[in-house]
Amino acid sequence: MPRWIVRCPECEKEFTHTPIGKTLGGMRDPFASPPKPEIPEDGSEMTCPACNKASTFRGFDLRYRAD
């Protein structure tokens, strides 16, 4: 399932920030990543499922994963 992931600054494990649903009609440019989700300017806080450390992530922390 395609998703936006972040990497925990404490344990370096990657985890899902936002799953990416299917687009209308199921068609999109295969050479472009989908638009990033809206994140507040001061970031969104998430807790790492591996080490339970809470961290704040911003738009530039997101990485696209298609698998």
Residues 6+ apart with CB under 8 A from 39: 57, 58, 59, 62
Q: pLDDT digit string (tens) for 1-59?
A: 889 999 999 999 999 999 987 654 556 677 777 889 999 999 999 999 999 999 999 99
Whether the Cβ atoms of residue 39 and residue 57 lie closer than 8 Å to each other: yes
Q: Which helix (H) or strand (E) holds 25?
A: none
Q: Is the pTM of this model over 0.85?
A: no
